[in-house]
Structure 1
Amino acid sequence: MIMVNIPSPAVSIVGRHNSGKTTLIERLIAELVARGHDVGSVKHHSHVGLEIDYPGKDSFRHRAAGASETVIAAPGQLARIKTLEGEVECSDIVRSMPGHDIVVVEGYRKSGLPTIEIMRAGNEADARVAEVFAEGARRGWPLGTDFTQFTRGTVPPADDDEAREALRRAQEEAIAAENAHFKTQHPDHVDISNKLPTNNTVAIVTDIEEALRAAELYNVPAFDLDDIAGLATLMEERFVRPRVTVVIQAGGESRRMGRSKATVPFAGRPLICRLVERLAPVADDLVITTNEPDNLAFLHTEFPQYRVQLVCDSFDYRGALPGLYTALQAARNPYVAVVACDMVFASASLVVAEALAMNETGADVVVPVNKHGFEPFHAMYRRMACLPAVRRALDRGEKRAQAFFDDVEVLEFPQSAVLEAEPMGGCFINANTPEELHSLEESFLEG
């Protein structure tokens, strides 16, 4: 089985001390899990000397004896305690947590992650920050403006003395409120001037009217403290890993191969088995389009864990575009990865990279492009946008796979991005003849 670490998307919940971050995260995780998502979480603890083990336990004794890393394993649970130099970057932590639909991070404001900012009226520091946030919105300054620099008059608008003075007073009051609350307990805390919404802020959660109005001016979605369902929906739409149907196009008899490519032997097994094993780990749903479903029925027994669907072509004539239409129509998920069954080195990692690029950019098609042109049969398609566009192209008599590209948003995935996802390359090599397949098989066995 091919092992693929599917990167987990992540969002950070940020706010000042006592703003209600943990409570919000607890309720948000419960809502996302109830909707069927696999959720991971990260808690940032800013104090040196965090101890999650305690004297008397065997694991503590292992560490006390000098072990730099201890793993505690029990049925259904695993914990790892490791001694580190310095602090691990949030991005490294998230990378070490693959396979989740979403990771919810508490803190790490400066991580570069999309952030959801919480401000609570009952928290004096939040109320003061809301004033600064609102003042910036009223003045039309970009989200992410360094308001501290504005108050010092070191950046434009240098002539806006009234605004700078208003911000200076608001910030001084906010910092004083924060300091008075926990300065003695946290002497190394960061002052509140570094705890304002930034251009990474994707939502505001608040019961403060000023903050709600400021969010509206900045065109940032805002939610009431109790609107957990609304916040979860936003996360589903923008950040939760999208469900992907992987479609392997197996067709039927190949004239140049002299027989079905799907069942031609490769390394002692039908070639289609290799494709299933390479791609199934990143598929939420696995479809094989074929005109010989009876000959491929053995896949149900071979791979019962994947509930493989065998789907016949929607049209009685051949062509790349009709085959793509069948793939999109059969898919049950919003993202559809389409791969030809003769691509011996088809890459699950590339499928993941394409899905992430589609999620980040909002493109309807993410298609690799190289000196040979587009590679539409190792590409990602947004079902809702592409299915009607493909149908219109078919009605015009088109048969080329890319004939509908002008009607949708296409993101070209360059060779550099392909190699970043799959350093070994070779993703698009296909076998059309017995000689080509034999050559690929030899190189595979030698490697």
Structure 2
Amino acid sequence: MIKFPSPAVSIVGRHNSGKTTLIEKLIAELVGRGLDVGSVKHHSHVGFDIDIPGKDSWRHRHAGASETVIAAPGQMARIQTTNGEAECADIVASMPGHDVVIVEGYRKSGLPTIEIMRAGNKADARTAEVFAEGARKGWALGTDFTQFGRGSMPYAAEVHPDDRPVAQPLGQTEEDRLARSNPDHADISNKMPTAATVAVVTDIPLAAEAAGMYGIPAFDINDVAGLADFLQASFARPRVSMVIQAGGESRRMGRSKATVPFCGRPLICRLIERLSPVADELIITTNEPKELAFLQEQYPELGIRFESDVINERGALPGLYTALRCARNPYVAVVACDMVLASPSLVVAEALEMTRTGADVVVPVNKHGFEPFHAIYRRSGCLPAVREALNEGEKRAQVFFNQVNVCEFPQKKVLEAEPMGGCFMNANTPDELAALERIIQDRIECE
């Protein structure tokens, strides 16, 4: 089943900084807001076990099984033997479908990191001093100034005017003597804020001041709600409304496309089953909701909403306006109900590209031009532009593209997302529908 990759952020700090306590409160806050949260804990010791010696699963493992799954109603655990330590990126990649994954530790994973510094922890207090010194001297985050905190080295890195780090002797400054005499310098080494640091959580004024000098947001150690606001706005996966457009009777088809038989059942059932796994909200725009009411009974778990045209005018742009107007989520994926090979993988790829680029529209483009009915739209950016175009009497779907930030999604990327292709093939007549059904049967997809 296709699912969105989970975005992840790591909470890091020194021993006894309070990482687990903060993460526990943060997860509870995010879950209370309706987010699906995954978590990863970096355990630095070899040989931990989550099973009780003597229990059946423990006996399986100790008999030689390389992987054991413990399953019960509502829970499942997997214990797997690995060669070496698993990479954090691989662990997160194996956890798709979460709105965000909170990682404890893995400072060098490449994830964005949130640094915690607690006044009651001596190593944190010392780190705050070093962090502040670096900020005052203009050392770039990511410059190796941790040897200043390490204390055993006589040099700290400064930043040359052309941004190249160069080593400068510290000599016997007060700070150097403090570092050498500090018993926590080993824990501070290599555990300083870096270029990956996106926020600081602290009750140490000096650390908050230094974060401000670096342009990094700082949160009080008890401001869990503020930190959750930041994570939700900056890192959580934006929710996607999936809109299947099934307007009503098609003159060329001779009946409603939504209910025309395809592989032995209504065509729209195929679209729902293909696209619902990547939908946080599933909307069907239609002017025949009574004829499609059976879908709510057939798929009660999906919470399907029917929406009729907001504007009583035929045309592609009015239909798009209805989709944007009725959606409740920031990203709106729109697909026509006769696109029998509509691709959930392509929807995921478009959404990730929208997040990466900040575009208002991510639209496939090929030799035929734009494919606006297998594209994704940022609701806040597109809705006003579509409304303005409608006021000017426009009806074409892409007419407003010159008013928003458009990211073209070329055929090469489409095929990377959906190697089988055919995403934009649609059926306007019974003959075209029959041809598409033969293609599906050739792919052994027809159930």
TM-score, normalising length from structure 2? 0.90
Letter in 2 for 1:81: I
* Matched-pair contact (CA < 8 Å) for 2:115–2:197: yes
Alignment equivalent of 2:316, drawn from 314, 320, 323: 320
1:323-362, aligned counterparts within 5 Å?
323-362=319-358
Equivalent position of 2:375 in the other structure: 379
Percent of matched pairs sharing the same residue: 70
Mapped pair 1:136 → 2:134: yes
Structure 1 range deviating more: 141-150 or 31-40 = 141-150
CA gap 1:229/1:439 in 2 versus in 1, 3 angstroms: same
Instruction: Report the 3-state secondary structure (helix = DSSP H, G, I; strand = E; otherwise coil) of the residue aligned with 1:109.
Output: coil
2:160 aligned residue: 156
CA contact (8 A) 1:367 1:378 kept: yes
1:14 to 1:168, Cα distance in 2 relative to 1, 3 A: farther
> Superposed, which structure 2 residues align to 1:48-447 within 5 Å?
48-148=46-146, 151=155, 156=160, 165=170, 177=182, 179=184, 192-447=188-443
Post-superposition shift, 1:51? 2.4
Task: Answer whether contact 1:171 1:193 (CA < 8 A) is retained.
Answer: no
User: What is the rounded CA distance, in whole Å, between the counterparts of 1:351 and 1:160 in structure 2?
Assistant: 43
Q: Alpha-carbon deviation of 1:179?
A: 5.0
Q: In the aligned structure 2, how far is the partner of 1:129 from the partner of 1:138?
A: 14
Task: Report the CA distance between 1:161 and its aligned residue.
Answer: 9.2
Check 1:116–1:170 CA distance in 2 against 1; reply closer, same or farther (3 A cut): farther
Specify the alignment match of 1:44 in structure 2. Answer: 42
Distance in 1 of aligned mates of 2:134 and 2:158 = 16
Quote the Cα distance in structure 1 between the aligned partners of 2:191 and 2:273.
Answer: 47
Distance in structure 2 (CA, Å) of the matches to 1:278 and 1:14:
39
1:97 corresponds to which letter in structure 2?
M
What is the rounded CA distance, in whole Å, between the counterparts of 2:347 and 2:57 in structure 1?
Answer: 40
Write the distance in 2 (CA, Å) between the matches of 1:117 and 1:38.
Answer: 23
- d(CA) in 2 for partners of 1:296 and 1:22? 49
Q: Is the contact made by 1:265 and 1:271 (CA closer than 8 Å) also made in structure 2?
A: yes
Q: Distance in 1 between matches of 2:353 and 2:183?
A: 40
Deviation track 1:221-264 (CA, whole Å, cap 9, x = no partner) reads: 11000000000111111122222211101122323333322222
Separation of aligned partners in 1, 2:213 and 2:258: 56
| Matched position secondary structure for 1:432 | coil
Deviation string 1:295-323 (CA, Å, 9 cap, x unpaired) is 22222222222222221112222211111
Distance (whole Å) between structure 1 residues aligned to residue 410 and residue 32 of structure 2: 38
**2:9 corresponds to 1:5:** no
Unmatched 5+ residue regions in structure 2? 149-154
The letter of the residue matching 1:128 is: R
Give the stretch that moved more between structures: 335-344 or 124-133: 124-133
- Is 243-252 or 349-358 further displaced after alignment? 349-358
Gaps of 5+ in 1: 184-190
Distance across 2 between alignment mates of 1:171 and 1:12: 30
Summarize deviations over 1:96-148 as a string: whole Å, max 9, x none: 11222211100111111111111112222222222232233223343322325
Structure 1 residues 13 and 320: alpha-carbon distance in aligned structure 2, compared to 1, 3 A threshold: same
Work out the CA distance in 1 between the residues paired with 2:227 and 2:288: 46
- Which residue in 2 is equivalent to 1:186? none
Residues of 2 paired with 1:202 and 1:60: CA distance?
41
Q: Which amino acid counterpart does residue 127 of structure 2 have in structure 1?
A: V
Work out the CA distance in 1 between the residues paired with 2:176 and 2:342. 55
Q: Distance in 2 between matches of 1:164 and 1:407?
A: 56
- Structure 1 stretch displaced more, 110-119 or 147-156: 147-156
Q: Distance in 1 between matches of 2:435 and 2:95?
A: 38
Q: What secondary structure is seen at the aligned counterpart in 2 of 1:251?
A: coil
Over 3 Å counting, the alpha-carbon distance change for 1:168 and 1:88 in structure 2 is farther
TM-score normalised by length of structure 1: 0.90
User: Are 1:135 and 1:167, in contact at CA under 8 Å, matched by a contact in 2?
Assistant: no
Q: CA deviation at 1:392?
A: 0.8
Partner of 2:152: none
AA aligned to 1:165 is: L
Contact 2:14 2:123 in 1 (8 A): yes
CA contact (8 A) 1:129 1:171 kept: no
Q: Deviations over 1:341-394 (max 9, x none)?
A: 111111112222222332343322222223332221111112222111110111
Q: Which amino acid aligns with 1:125?
A: A
Bigger share in helix: 1
Relative to 1, partners in 2 of residues 1:99 and 1:13: Cα closer, same or farther, differing over 3 Å?
A: same
Other-structure match for 1:22: 20
Structure 1 range deviating more: 413-422 or 28-37: 413-422
Letter in 2 for 1:29: I
Alpha-carbon distance change, 171 to 44 in structure 1, aligned in 2, over 3 angstroms: farther
Deviation at 1:432, TM superposition (A): 2.4
Q: Which amino acid aligns with 1:126?
A: D
Q: For residue 367 of structure 1, give the secondary structure of its aligned residue in structure 2.
A: strand
Q: Which residue in 2 is equivalent to 1:188? A: none
Alpha-carbon distance between aligned partners in 2 of 1:110 and 1:239, rounded to the nearest angstrom: 18
Residue 40 of structure 1 aligns to which amino acid in structure 2?
A: G
Distance 2:232 2:427 in 1: 39
